[in-house]
A and B are shown apart, each in its own frame.
Chain A
Amino acid sequence: MSGKMIGVDVGGTFTDIFVLDESDGTARVGKVPTSRPDQSTGFLQGITEAVADIGSVGVVVHGTTAGTNALLERKGARTGVICTQGLRDVLEMRRRDRPRTWGLRGDFEPVVDRRDRLEVPERTLADGTIRTPVDLDAVRRAARQLQDQGCIAVAILFANAYANPANEAAAVAALRQIWPNEHVSASSEILPEIREYERFSTTALNAYLQPEVSGYLGRLGAALDKGGFGGEFMIVQSNGGVMDVDTACRFPIRTALSGPAAGVIAAGYIARSAGFDNVITGDMGGTSFDVSLIAEGRSMLAPQTSIDFGMVVRTPMIEITTIGAGGGSIAWVDKGGLLNIGPESAGSDPGPVAYGLGNDRPTVTDANVVLGRIDPENPIGGKLARLDVQAATRAIDIHVGQPLGLDTLAAAEAILRVANSRMAGALRLVSIERGFDPKKFAFMPFGGGGALHAGAMLAEVGIARAIVPRYPGVTSALGCVIADMRQDFVQTLNAMLDGLDTEMLGAVMQDHHDRGMAMLKAAGTRFEARDATFALDMAYIGQTHTVSVPIPAQVSAGKVHSPTQAQIAAAFDNVYRDTFGRLLPGGVRRILNLRSAVTGKRPKFDLATLAPTVTDPARPKSTRKVHFGTDWHETAIYDRLTLPVGTVITGPAILEQPDTTVLIEPGLVGRVDPLGNVILETGPEAGA
């Protein structure tokens, strides 16, 4: 099917639209203010402004932060839990951790109140044996009580349900008989994996989000329908793949990192199109700097994350490392005389001192303002008319300059140097510390502030170049259009390799394969290819950390052929040797989980359609004084979107565009590549 594909990313301030016309390969971008409280108005407005005839749109893909925000702000539905007798506090007891190592302060409230967690007689043992069949009368009583107490969603959380879901399934059926409710999550359906806290938490958070997210997506769907949309509506998952909207309504927890994942997917694609398969992305926002690594075109996936203390979500997700160094991070000098950045942040409201909204402690952005790197007359984002340089100067003097005995400029440079070194630390963490050589990577900043710090990352980490995408502000919307359709499955097997029943393994693989393919089939989208991949979490017996072992599996005519024990053994040995350097002679190989991924590859489009068409040679629109090191430099300012392909600009220079500011420091050179990206590299004259 051909037609228009639209990616929509709803942010805090703007809703970004990316439109791809599959019939001729052209693309364009749009931006409207995000509507509140109902985001669907702005969502639809953005689409109708971008395309005249919504009926010509085949697919709308949405990267959403609705789920993340509901979790962070604790605005999910009142949720009840029905659980195994004796275990109602698992959610609240966590894995016996604490919020911070030092200080012993802070308590924790789970999203489900203790009064809404009810126990029923039932018990399944670790080997799947049912020791106590579930007491269905007790389940019905619990269901009625939860209903009476005002619960809207329910999570069924039974011990060892990963090994045998029968008791949970019976409880769900009994509950639905007396309480027809689409917001019921059973732990064996959401995550049939061993470890009750992680499974219960993920399941309870899924239930907690279901009414909120399905309501939100329902409103968007209805708005689209009303506008005359007859195509398919899909949602980006945390793993970087998309799912249909019905799946998203059943498994809203899979959207926990939907928005950021779309951004990383796009960054990887832009970098690859520009000729770089290895890239580290850096999204600098108001309070944090989010870093993700893509090696050989593939994103790293993390098995779980914690949205906040005690809110564990275990679904495969693009690995994003966050440090507290954003534009709003506060610079302060401790009593020992050491300059620190963060973790306290002024965020975007009240934001930096220069915003004039009530914060009087200096931030990283204030340092950029005082040094002339940000134009105080034309702040990006369009929210403020101008920035208050004097207030920023005063704040830096009082809180950093005076305690350290530095003048304003030296103090502002100091703030940037320390902030850059913290950001560089995050890049080292995801690269050097994981065995990747940063020299082989490009750095891609996105978000409003990242491109001001790109040059520093080259100098600090030894990265060869930075790529600033042509439209850094719509990266997530672009990612929506590029993402493949993907479904992940997990099943705990908990077996020794020697005694493994490969027929049973084959049957589980077949089940995962069939369910994934059915989902692809149900989607109206065109796929270039469909494939299923399988991996086993394995370790030697006695070892805690498992390694992920991709296993060879033949699929012919829809039939999955399980690998033999010998094939699995060989695959494990290879991975283990690569990871730990040596095998353990005589060690017993154990299989914990099967993980399957079914992917429908969506057609890609050529980013050249977004490339600059202008040919007039680049000319600075103005100059202004910008401070680097110890001196002011008269610095050329360019309008970035007017630069033709092939332009080479030697630093110092600043490229401005509505959603970001690109800083080319002295000694760096910026080059506009054929796709309109700006590639920053060390200039030839700067030498070694």
Chain B
Amino acid sequence: MSEIDPITLSVLAGRMEQIADEMDATLFRAAFNPIIAEAHDASHGLYHAETGDTLVQGKSGLPIFVGVMSFAVKAVIEKVTADGDLADGDIFIFNDAHIGGTHLSDMRLVRPYFREGKLFCWLASVGHWHDVGGAVPGNYNPAATEVFQEAFVLPPVRLARAGVVNQDIIDILLRNTRLPQSAQGDLNGQLGALALGVRRMDELLDEYGAGTVDAALDALGIRAERLMRSELEAIPDGRWEAEDFLDNDGIADTPLPLRVALEIKGDRMHLDFTGSAPKCAGPVNIALPTTIATVYVAIKHIFPLLPANAGVMRPIEVTVPEGSILSAEFPAPTGGYTETILRMIDVVFCAFAQAVPDRVVANAYGTINALSIAGRRSNGKPWVMFSFYGGGHGGSPEGDGLNHGNAPISTATIPPLEILEAAYPVMFRQWALRRDSAGAGRHRGGLGAVYEIEVLEENGAEGFLFGERGRFAPKGVAGGQEGALNVFTYQQGAEWPHPPLVSKMRGIRLKQGEAVRLETPGGGGYGPPAERDPTAVALDVARDYLSEAEADRLYGPTWREGMR
């Protein structure tokens, strides 16, 4: 390994990050489906030639992919090692979540990058396709008990061999989606991003030489590890535990525990998820790669300056028991993985909050609330409105949580209600902040939201919801209190029933003029409520974030001294 000076390293780090960013931007522009184009549910990066470890990843991609992409590359490395052949211009494609993490909607493309006949590194692209077959359009099937009910499953296969694309594979893909045009557009975009990555790497290596770039990649790994170790060293040694629960798996109404023990010793860390629920029937299982990637996401939220580099994980040991909800094996369904990883992040935060309370924010709203309303118009054409909804962020050592934020695993924005109303026969009666939803604390949580959506179509519609936090509220830390629970109701004439499984339901029949109402959780509070500045409480009451009765209950009557 050749040495590299720190200045060239700094310059090269910026250059390589820009390559990954540019791959992201290329796909965002070209993608057909809004999940990639608007919500940026995609990611790109550079991976180690032999190990598949993450070397550099784009800044604009989805946070959860930062940890998970290297598993896609590792899977391809395993395949080519077994096959015993790999050529410049090969491109691999797959969506198998048990190998590559997350869920089947995420299509992964992996391409070797060769320099002078030798494998230099890997490039990879992942993007959330609009539809990949299965029982439910969009692939969020709350009743799935096997992956086959969620989507078609593609193991790592060669999409191109030595630069020649195999049209057979594309034909199979396009025959297995409800939206072939969209899939073709996204595939073209991902191929374009990889081709761009190859061009940019060529330019970079022409300019700096393969030896220097290789040395820089090694040095970046060492630097990432050093950064992580120095953060861990600053934390006192000890062991801290935390637990939380998922409402249910969408099949049986049983809470599912997630437990973690955090142990810090010197500059090392151990996260032990022993005691978490065993594999369940419904789609809230996650595969081991997803679990590891989620640890990374949680750690990077606590230490935001850590780079997207596998070196970060070297001082971290993760224990996941076999047969657990966190190490589900094929063909367990994983479509609802978002809910499980959000809860994992919550328990990791709660464990760290005991170790370093001044570094950790309270739990955010903790559910993506995938809500679908669908039906047929009077002319017979089908329509499906599918979206995720926001909630409050946790209070932090620095201040109150953000009102109506996005999920920690995502940076996706919500579509404007006018775009939804223009596209689908619905009307939002309400799109507002939810009073009394914030967890109390020295710094309170952010407020959740209320969305009430009326069906305008005379044929009515059918709804389904995949949510969480209906029974277990987002927790506060450092003495802060819980945010409000997720509450979903739907209108049936004069009645507003709740789903039997609280946060998950399908087959909700809605007549014209009836509505669904989603009240999302606020974030947990940070620090004891008694330490909240009375003028801040009074302001919350004046703004109607908080009712007087709740203010009295949570903060005691002294808040009135803060009234102006």
Contacts and interface: CB of A to CB of B under 8 A. Distances in A.
Interface of A: 86-90, 92-108, 113-115, 123, 125-126, 131, 159-160, 162, 194-198, 334-340, 404, 413-414, 417-418, 421-422, 425, 428-429, 432-433, 494, 542-545, 580, 584, 587
Given A87-B432, A543-B32, A98 B417 contact: no
A98 B416 contact: no
Nearest to B349: A104
A584 B185 CA distance: 9
B418 A196 contact: yes
Contact of B427 (A125, A335, A542): A125
B59 A93 contact: no
A106 B417 contact: no
Contact of A92 (B305, B396, B404, B413): B404
A96 B181 contact: no
Contact of B6 (A100, A414, A432): A414
Contact of A94 (B18, B404, B452): B404
Give chain B's interface secondary structure class.
mixed
Contacts, number: 190
Nearest to A160: B418
B301 A102 contact: yes
Interface stretch (B8-16, B254-262, B319-327): B8-16
Given A86-B429, A339-B6, A114 B413 contact: no
B18 A429 contact: yes
B241 interface: no
Interface-centre pick from A86, A96, A103, A404 (highest chain B CB count, 10 A): A96
Given A100-B304, A494-B422, A108 B416 contact: no
Nearest to B300: A102
Nearest to B412: A96
Contacts of A337: 6, 223, 226
Interface of B: 6-7, 9-11, 13-15, 18, 22, 25, 29-30, 32-34, 37-38, 59, 63, 179, 181-182, 185, 222-224, 226-227, 230-231, 300-301, 304-305, 307, 361, 364, 389-390, 393-394, 396, 398-406, 408, 411-414, 416-419, 421-422, 427-433, 446, 449, 452, 456, 542-545
Nearest to B405: A98
A179 B12 CA distance: 61
Contacts of B179: 542
Nearest to A162: B418
A545 B390 contact: no
B183 to A, nearest CB: 12
26 contacts: A86-B431, A87-B432, A88-B432, A93-B432, A94-B404, A95-B416, A96-B389, A97-B413, A102-B304, A104-B394, A105-B398, A113-B543, A125-B421, A125-B456, A131-B427, A159-B417, A159-B421, A194-B416, A194-B418, A334-B305, A336-B227, A417-B7, A418-B7, A542-B182, A543-B32, A584-B185
Contacts of B11: 417-418, 421
Contacts of B429: 86
B230 A335 contact: yes
B181 A98 contact: no
A106 B406 contact: no
A584 B181 contact: yes
A195 B419 contact: yes
A362 to B, nearest CB: 15
Contacts of B418: 126, 159-160, 162, 194-196
Contacts of B33: 542, 544
Given A87-B431, A108-B403, A335-B230, A96 B304 contact: no
A105 B396 contact: yes
Given A195-B416, A584-B181, A336 B224 contact: yes
B546 to A, nearest CB: 11
A340 B7 CA distance: 10
Contacts of A429: 18
Contacts of A545: 29, 37
B402 A98 contact: yes
Given A114-B544, A126-B421, A425 B15 contact: yes
A402 to B, nearest CB: 12
A417 B5 CA distance: 12
A196 B18 CA distance: 33
Given A115-B544, A336-B223, A338-B223, 18 more contacts: A86-B429, A93-B390, A95-B414, A98-B393, A98-B402, A102-B63, A108-B402, A113-B543, A125-B421, A131-B427, A159-B418, A159-B421, A160-B421, A196-B417, A336-B222, A337-B6, A339-B7, A542-B181
A94 to B, nearest CB: 7
A425 to B, nearest CB: 5
Given A108-B402, A108-B403, A544-B37, A414 B7 contact: yes
Contacts of A335: 226-227, 230-231
A338 B402 contact: no
A123 B32 contact: no
B226 A96 contact: no
Given A93-B390, A338-B223, A196 B6 contact: no
